[in-house]
Amino acid sequence: MFDPKSVAIPSLLCFCLSAPLWANQEAPTEPNTREATEDASERHAQTMERLVVNALPLERSALETAQPVDVLAGERLEARRGVTLGETLAKQPGVQSSYYGPGAGRPIIRGLGGNRVRVLNDSLYLGDASSSSDDHAVATDPLLIEQIEILRGPATLLFGSGAAGGVVNLIDGRIPSERANGALTGGFEVRGDTVANGASGVMTLSSGQGPWAWYLDGSWRERDDYNIPGEAELVMENDHDHDHDEGHDEEHTGRLENSFVDSQTATFGLSFIGERGFIGASVRHYGADYGIPAPHFHDDGHDDEHGDDGHDESGHDEDHSEEEVYAVVDMRQTQFDLKGELAEPLPGITSATLRLGLNDYGHVEKEIEEALVMEGTRFDVETRQARLELATVPIGGWVGAIGVQWDDERFDAIGAEAYVVPNQTKSLAVFTLQETNLGPLTVSLGGRLERTRIDAQLRLEDHHDAHDDHDNHGVSPDRDHRSFQVASTSLGGIWRFNPRWQATAHLALSERAPSASELFANGAHLATFSYEQGDANLRKETSQAWDVGLHHHSTDFDFKVNAFYKAIDDFIYWQPQAAMVDGFGLRLATQHDAKLYGAEWLAHWQYHNTPLGDFDFHLGQDWVRGELSDGTDLPRISPQRLQVGIDWHQGPWAAELSYQRMSAQDRVAPNETPTDGYALIDARLSYRIDTARLTWSVFVEGKNLGNEEARVHTSYLKNYAPLPGRNVIAGIRGEF
């Protein structure tokens, strides 16, 4: 069998060592030098805030916009890259990971995740199946991402009703937008870790001549099952009848079975760049194989007579005498993207940006029982997208952008665990964002109108009665469809009442259409350990969201605090039932009024030019509460978190030490168990070497240095898969 690592590691190292010798022949021979003040500026927190937020139609930085936006790039991004997108963002204020093992982790923003958080690549939907189930990976490798933008609150309305919880926009260089003028630039990284005997690498290249510019990248990752501090499965105190065999505890202690991850990525992009704009296209192929570290148990039939006393909250029988069966996901995605920008295409329009995307995604969930591999359910997703943004000239003091977006997604699942029927979701929307300056006050207005239609291919047992409030003309016995018209508006402002202080406030009134799974699910969903049944008569959600913030920024001290409140009418959630279906606890798609509220704050102190070097101190906290209108807590709401960190720089040396304290979560929904708190200590040390044509960086990191047993409350696998134990990561990175 072909081993990509056996070829990729030597090839990548040879290329990286030789590239500076032949790349960019016109480069100067003097060593690259950087002024100390420039280095300090790059490390300052404000640098991240001054990066342009690509997801916003107006060219604004995080510091200049009234929208609650975080930007992760540069050194901060390099230090936080993980195996998954959820792991990479897990330390961001207000963000948690769904964590379904090391191969699948999606961001949860302010208590909302799944199909309420939209993951984009340069403003287009990523087009995978990760929003439909937590065990489906986000189809991207964090090693290739150059910048991550996290939008919360009202700004999300620009990207559809499905972005009610938040937007994560990923920026990479796959479609060049600037001329290369013959210079070859690029970067590489190779790293390894001890917790899973892992190895990974990435390489990027870009160049061009005249009006043509091209981009090339590739990445690979291989990790074995990872080490854990103790036992994989959490034994609850009331599990008095836990019938493990004698070898079970030893087998599942010290290592999390079936937690391996393998992935590969390859991308090519080409652009034609003229005087007034550019047009470019790219193709990317992403493949991954990863294990699901939660066993299922097969027997001739489930004993439903146990009732509630015989099953834990996951819905599995507690008698583990049956044979354990693990699942492996084999996923592939091919993305085709086109992007064009043109300055002053029409009178009154300063620029036009066009984005087209086509994604072909598929994965197979294979079951492994002893040495036997059985092909299971197959998921296929095909998406087509188009987005046009037009920046307008100032009219009456207002400047902004208008746009139109079209999406078409086909979802198909075939197999015994296809809990959602084949369906197609189409949407068409128009949106706008406008701003005006009134002295120290900047006012922004936004709006979006969207029509969504969901067509479903029903099975015999999936028929639902039509609802009078929906457009259901033409429904056949084996098909059903639902149409929704949703509208969202926002009003916000930023008040710079002092050269160092500014306040923001935003109000959004928005609507969200139900997803296909919420409408038409009807089957066993192993990822949630339940039998899920949707409701085709669900109404759209309506919400009112407030977000207020205060920000102080100066040379030596930064402070930012945001508070939010969101009231949602007809909130859609999965409500556990007492009944059992096919051995799983039944969960119904249900609507009830709900509210979410919380706050995030972060303080940053700088002590530079000391005899011992430059020091940066960080202190932050975030919390969120989610409740139904009757006071019942919503499930899987992340607990309160405190983060403390210190960064140090002196010459080519840099170091970081961070402490994260996750509180226990005892505010839980019915049939949900509490989760203990934990503390994680991480450290990082790096050394930079500047040569004539290449900047090297050697680094070593320590993760979970205290070897703490940590279980993520927002994860469905919290009782089966703790976070990795103590891990040492070492690597080398270069840019030329």
Q: Give which of 602, 680, 721 is closest to 259, Cα–Cα.
A: 721
Tens of pLDDT, residue by residue over 121-150, are 999 999 999 998 999 999 999 999 999 999
pLDDT above 80 (res 486): yes
pLDDT, position 157? 83
Instruction: For residue 152, give the amino acid letter.
Output: R
Between 696 and 55, the more confident residue is 696
In 116-233, alpha helices (H): none
pLDDT reported for residue 323: 63
Average pLDDT over residues 40-51: 49
Average pLDDT over every residue of 688-697: 91
pLDDT at residue 599, rounded to an integer: 96
How many whole angstroms separate alpha carbon 556 and alpha carbon 616?
9
Q: In the predicted model, is pLDDT for residue 154 greater than 90?
A: no
Mean pLDDT of all residues in 502-522: 94
pLDDT in tens, 245-292: 444 445 557 999 999 999 999 999 999 999 999 999 999 999 999 999
The alpha carbon torsion through 114, 120, 124, 130 (nearest 10 deg) reads -40
Give tens-digit pLDDT for 92-109: 999 999 999 999 999 999
* Token couple for 204: 């990027």
Question: Rounded distance, CA 622 to CA 122, Å?
Answer: 27
How far is the C-alpha of 627 from the C-alpha of 637, rounded, in Å? 10
Contacts of 382 (CB under 8 A, 6+ apart): 359, 360, 361, 409, 410
Least confident stretch, 367-371, 403-407, 488-492, 534-538:
367-371
What would the two tokens of residue 395 be? Answer: 């009219």
Which of 678, 82, 204, 338 is CA-nearest to residue 72? 82
CA dist., res. 311 & res. 582, Å (int): 13
Least confident window among 227-236, 302-311, 388-397: 302-311
Q: What percent of the chain has pLDDT over 90?
A: 68
Residue 661 pLDDT = 97
The reported pLDDT for the residue numbered 163 is 87
Give the whole-angstrom CA distance, residue 230 versus residue 722.
9
Strands 557-581 and 584-610: antiparallel
What pLDDT is attached to residue 4? 40
Q: For the chain, what are the domain ranges? A: 4-424+436-478+488-735
> What pLDDT was estimated at residue 45?
45
- Across 286-309, average pLDDT: 64
pLDDT for residue 155 = 75
As a whole number of angstroms, the distance between CA 653 and CA 685 comes to: 8
- Find, among 510, 622, 621, 518, the residue nearest to 566 by Cα: 510
Burial of 166 (0-12, 13-18, 19+ CB in 10 A): buried
In angstroms, the CA 552 to CA 613 distance is 25
Q: How confident is the model at residue 206 (pLDDT cuts 50, 70, 90)?
A: very high
With H, G, I as helix, E, B as strand and everything else as coil, classify residue 219.
strand
| pLDDT at 596 exceeding the cut of 80 | yes
Asked if residues 529 and 315 have their Cβ atoms less than 8 Å apart, the reply is: yes
What ranges in 81-198 are assigned the alpha helix state H? 85-89
Superfamily of segment(s) 4-424+436-478+488-735: TonB-dependent receptor, beta-barrel domain (2.40.170.20)
The mean-pLDDT minimum among 132-141, 166-175, 231-240, 587-596 falls in 231-240
Q: 46, 553 in Cβ contact below 8 A?
A: yes
| Helix/strand/coil (H/E/C) assignment for every residue in 449-490 | EEEEEEEEECCHHHCCCCCCCCCCCCCCCCEEEEEEEEEEEE
The mean of the pLDDT values for the chain is 85
Cα distances (Å, whole numbers) of residue 585 to 315, 525, 528, 580, 589: 5, 10, 10, 5, 13
Choice between 111 and 4, residue whose per-residue pLDDT is larger? 111
**Buried b / exposed e along 509-521 (16+ C-beta atoms within 10 A):** bbbbbbbbbbbbb
> Could you tell me which of 313, 235, 243, 242 has the C-alpha nearest to residue 584?
313
Task: Give the pairing type, strands 398-414 and 372-395.
Answer: antiparallel
State yes or no: pLDDT of 237 exceeds 60. Answer: no
For residues 560-571, average pLDDT:
96
DSSP code at position 252: T
Pairwise CA distance, residues 591 & 574, whole Å: 9
Query: Taking residues 531-541, what's their average pLDDT?
Result: 95
Burial environment of residue 6 by CB neighbours within 10 A (0 to 12, 13 to 18, 19 or more): exposed
Look at residue 477 in the predicted model and tell me its pLDDT. Answer: 59
Per-residue pLDDT reduced to its tens digit, 172-186: 999 999 999 888 999
Q: What is the pLDDT of residue 588?
A: 95
pLDDT, tens only, 446-479: 999 999 999 998 865 554 444 444 444 444 557 8
Strands in 582-712 per DSSP E:
584-610, 613-628, 641-650, 653-662, 678-690, 695-703
Sign of the C-alpha dihedral, residues 609, 610, 614, 617?
negative
Q: How far apart are CA 236 and CA 720, in angstroms?
A: 12
pLDDT class of 370 with cuts at 50, 70, 90: low
Rounded mean pLDDT of 586-609? 96
Phi, psi of 142 (to 5 degrees): -60, -20
Task: Give the pLDDT band (50/70/90) at residue 50.
Answer: low
pLDDT at 29 over 90: no
Q: In the prediction, which pLDDT does 458 show? A: 81
The pTM score is 0.86
Q: Is beta strand 501-512 parallel, antiparallel or unpaired with respect to 522-525?
A: unpaired
H or E segment to which residue 19 belongs: helix 4-22
pLDDT value of residue 240: 44
Q: How do residues 620-659 score in pLDDT, each as one tens digit?
A: 999 999 999 999 999 999 999 999 999 999 999 999 999 9
Rounded average pLDDT over 519-540: 92
pLDDT of residue 509: 94
| Number of C-beta neighbours around residue 22 at 10 A | 9
